[in-house]
Amino acid sequence: MRSTVEKKSNKPRKDWQTLSTLLPYLMQYKFRVFAALSLLIAAKLANVSVPLVLKDIVDHLDVQNQPLVLPLTLILAYGALRLSSAVFGEMRDAVFAKVTQGAIRRVALQVFEHLHRLSLRFHLERQTGGMSRDIDRGTKGIAFLLNFMLFNILPTLVEIALVAVILLKKYDWWFAAVTFATVAVYIAFTLGVTEWRMRYRREMNTLDSNANTRAIDSLINYETVKYFGNERWEAERYDASMQQWEGAAVRNQVSLSFLNAGQAIIIAVGVTLLVGMAADGVVKGTMTLGDLVLVNAFLLQLYAPLNFLGFVYREIKNSLADMEKMFGLMSKGAEIKDKPNAQALQTPSAAITFSHVDFGYEQNRQILQDISFSIPAGKTVAVVGASGAGKSTLSRLLYRFYDVNSGAIEINGVDLRDLTQSSLRAHIGIVPQDTVLFNDTIYYNIAYGKPTASRDEVIEAAKSAHIYDFIMSLPEGFETTVGERGLKLSGGEKQRVAIARTVLKNPPILIFDEATSALDSHTEKAIQAELKAISLNRTTLVVAHRLSTISDADEILVMRDGCIVERGNHRQLLALDGVYAQMWALQLSSE
């Protein structure tokens, strides 16, 4: 019960936060906003004037014992006012289109950039399908919110005020009183019921995101599903989520029907009272037939947008609910931030030092313990050890995806935390164990290492990685699409693309994170030669599984349980007859 109360108390604050977040985007187009509001007021003034002219036309034609004369001027004025109302409305929408679409683009870009600023920890825990659905709904909600708040709620309120003033001035105060009472009851009922049923909309959004997450996750792992014949299992999991969503959707629709019925009753009662009062005035001779037409026209003109106002308010609340999760992403702080005075790394050669580094992804799970080693500029240091020893964590820390718990990592004597992240990562190139490519062309994936590179530079990088001949043998050459995650290419081909884009980047620091462990022996030897060639005169960290690939490293570190237990070159470690020698003997016997 307490959580429900807290949610209710917090929700208005969130709504106003959302609205205030959008204001800066509107202020970027001050002239357009002012012009659109001016056109809005002009359209409403023309719209309210239409029934007044219509009354004069009816009264003019209702004159008894006098020859009828066609009120041409009034008819032309009537047509001009109706045309003006429509034209001003369309001009308003055209002027404001740039504001709406510009706000959507800027918010979407801001969310996209923020997601890239968030830490690797966030992205390892995220649910891609649900998150993408939240962003999609949120950006669509912006368009609805801006358009309907400014161009439906505001003009409807303006029109209600104008109509009430006219009724109060021209007729008995009861007309204005009934009009205001009907509007007040209608708005109170709409707000109350809408607030009550918003929980069903939020429940629908959550369940929709969950179902989408399961669907996307299953499709991404299509091959795994097929390997184990679990199509029916996946369908049942998806249907279980959709079944929950169906229940929430039904409750949402039932509550909507209740809201619509209540609104219809309120409007029907108000209209009946006002028309009855006007008809009574005509019978008593205090009002003309034109007055009856005027009151009726005002009511139709007023209650149609008022009825629409209920729909708009509901949809605005829905849009705010849709936008909550998207702006919730924006509220997540970046775990890794540049210091205000962070310096840019600029060096053609880099010496790396790990000094007494302790690190754990979670507080109760230590991964690295008192790690200290150096990689002199232009030298190669390899790290070996069993799975889970903490080898790949070294590369993540070097990229500063995480900050160390204690100790320091330095490049040329400067702590990574004192450098800008962008300049640091610009100096590092990596060939990972599992190369993931974009679902685009081979050319795009190679050029990704340096998007500004010329075509000749991309071709040279492909030749350096010994993948040029393979590319040219394909029917579409460099324009061949590699498929999602590069699945249309073999493991060796993907690795060569990864090497080519790293060559194109041309960084002073290289990381090979078990870059050949998933390849066959023949392909491994070919790629290993390419890796040695590009690492020449570069500071290189090699995380290795097969010891034969790092036997010529300047120094080899042997890790176990997050600690360095042995270090030295290949000969020295064999002479120690310790952990490394045992691993070497084991791999030799298996081969």
Supply φ then ψ for residue 509, to 5 degrees.
-120, 135
Condensed to tens digits (0 to 9), the pLDDT of residues 7-52 reads 333 444 456 666 666 677 677 778 888 888 888 888 888 877 877 7
Q: Quick one: which H or E segment has residue 371?
A: strand 368-375
How far is residue 372's CA from residue 144's CA, in Å, rounded to a whole number? 56
How far is residue 52's CA from residue 289's CA, in Å, rounded to a whole number? 13
* pLDDT in the model for residue 383: 93
Condensed to tens digits (0 to 9), the pLDDT of residues 359-397 reads 988 777 788 999 999 999 999 999 998 877 788 889 889
Higher pLDDT, 490 or 414: 414
Q: Are 400 and 416 in contact (CB under 8 A)?
A: yes
* pLDDT in the model for residue 381: 93
Residue 481 in this model has a pLDDT that exceeds 70: yes
Which amino acid is present at 407?
G
Q: How does DSSP classify residue 153? A: I
Distances (CA, A) of 320 to 16, 22, 149, 313, 452: 10, 12, 12, 10, 40
Ranking 53-67, 327-341, 438-452, 555-569 by mean pLDDT, the lowest is 53-67
pLDDT band of residue 181 (cuts 50, 70, 90) is confident
Q: In whole angstroms, what separates CA 490 from the centre of its chain? A: 32
Q: Which residue has the tokens 């209600």?
A: 160
Q: Are 383 and 394 in contact (CB under 8 A)?
A: yes
Mean pLDDT for the chain overall: 80
| Structure tokens that stand for 531 in this block | 């890796």
Which domains can be identified in the chain, with CATH numbers? 2-331 (1.20.1560.10), 352-590 (3.40.50.300)
How far is residue 450's CA from residue 528's CA, in Å, rounded to a whole number? 23
Strands 555-560 and 563-568: antiparallel
Bridge partner residues of 511 (DSSP): 430, 541
Residue 419 in this model has a pLDDT that exceeds 50: yes
pLDDT above 70 as % of the chain: 87
Q: Quick one: which H or E segment has residue 368?
A: strand 368-375
pLDDT above 90 as % of the chain: 15
| Structure tokens that stand for 517 in this block | 């462990």
pTM value is 0.64
Q: Which residue has the tokens 């849709």?
A: 322
251-264 CB burial, b ≥16 within 10 A, e <16: bbeebbeebeebbe
Ranking 119-133, 173-187, 248-262, 433-447 by mean pLDDT, the lowest is 119-133
Q: How does DSSP classify residue 345? A: P
Q: How many C-alpha atoms does 177 have within 13 Å on its Cβ side?
A: 5
Angle, to 10 degrees, between the axis of helix 72-117 and the axis of helix 2-27? 110
| Segment 184-189 mean pLDDT | 84
Residue 503 in this model has a pLDDT that exceeds 80: yes
User: Which positions ≥6 away from 316 have C-beta within 8 Å?
Assistant: 144, 145, 148, 149, 153
* pLDDT in the model for residue 473: 92
* pLDDT in the model for residue 129: 60
